[in-house]
């Protein structure tokens, strides 16, 4: 068994039932992704559209590709045939573009709404109040080719675990509020994506159903 396989197995042994691992494979070669696939990993996360599109043909067709990085509207079309889930929906404009491009090829795509809870202004996403307002006025209604599955968030890049836990709890509380207020009749609204290599255990503690782990599986990025 490869080192990558060992790391994947170790993480999966610690994940509760219903929590899935997203192997973040950005900047790593297809050969390393194949090792993860051979170890049973099926969900891979990429930050860049061009990289996802380039890698997808080289791995088996049952791989689920998740777009987890910032997505520009002008790159949605090239992404659409390959992606299983877009985790980084950070604006109404982007969501409407995804709807348009999904309709163009007659498919329904799963998405997560990105919530901005971190202290860094460089991270994107809806502020909590902004997202509640958008939902309240119905701006995310009537999108038949988009299936909103839940929320995604990134915590502040800090060693302060109390701060990280506070942010994860905010995501979890917001998810429950949105579920009750706007998606109570939608069983498919059931996903919270948060937690990375350094904090995924805390994320699981606070309700994550998807954890995005890269360096803890593949090692340092290979630029």
Return phi, psi of residue 28, to 5°: -105, 145
* Residue 221 reports pLDDT greater than 80: no
pTM: 0.96
Per-residue pLDDT reduced to its tens digit, 98-113:
999 999 999 999 999 9
Total count of domains within the chain: 1
- Predicted local confidence at residue 223, as pLDDT: 55
State both tokens at 49: 């559209």
**By the 8 A CB rule, do 67 and 49 touch?**
yes
Task: Assess if residue 219 is contained within a domain.
Answer: no
Query: At 150, which CATH number?
Result: 3.20.20.10
- Predicted local confidence at residue 2, as pLDDT: 79
Lowest mean pLDDT among 41-50, 116-125, 158-167, 174-183: 116-125
Task: Assess if residue 126 is contained within a domain.
Answer: yes
Rounded distance, CA 194 to CA 211, Å? Answer: 6
Task: Assess if residue 32 is contained within a domain.
Answer: yes
- DSSP, collapsed to helix, strand or coil, labels residue 161 as helix
Nearest to 173 by CA among 201, 199, 194, 148: 194
- Predicted local confidence at residue 220, as pLDDT: 82
Nearest to 85 by CA among 11, 191, 202: 191
- In which domain, by residue range, is 52 found? 3-214
């Amino acid at each position: 068994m490869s080192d990558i396989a060992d790391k994947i197995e170790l993480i999966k042994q610690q994940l509760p039932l219903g929590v899935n691992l997203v192997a973040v494979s950005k900047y790593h070669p297809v050969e390393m992704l194949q090792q993860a696939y051979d170890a049973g990993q099926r969900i891979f996360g990429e930050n860049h559209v061009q990289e996802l599109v380039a890698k997808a043909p080289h791995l088996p067709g049952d791989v689920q590709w998740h777009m987890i990085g910032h997505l520009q509207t002008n790159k949605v079309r090239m992404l659409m045939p390959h992606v299983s889930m877009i985790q980084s929906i950070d604006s109404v404009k982007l969501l409407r573009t995804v709807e348009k491009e999904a309709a163009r090829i007659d498919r329904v795509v799963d998405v997560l709404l990105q919530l901005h809870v971190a202290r860094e202004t460089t991270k994107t996403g809806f502020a909590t109040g902004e997202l509640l307002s958008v939902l309240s006025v119905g701006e995310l209604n009537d999108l038949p080719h988009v299936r909103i599955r839940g929320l995604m968030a990134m915590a502040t890049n800090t060693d302060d675990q109390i701060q990280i836990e506070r942010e994860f709890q905010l995501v979890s509380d917001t998810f429950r509020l949105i579920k009750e207020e706007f998606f109570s009749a939608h069983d498919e609204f059931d996903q919270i994506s948060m937690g990375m290599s350094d904090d995924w255990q805390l994320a699981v503690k606070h309700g994550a159903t998807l954890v995005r782990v890269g360096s803890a599986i593949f090692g340092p990025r290979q630029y």
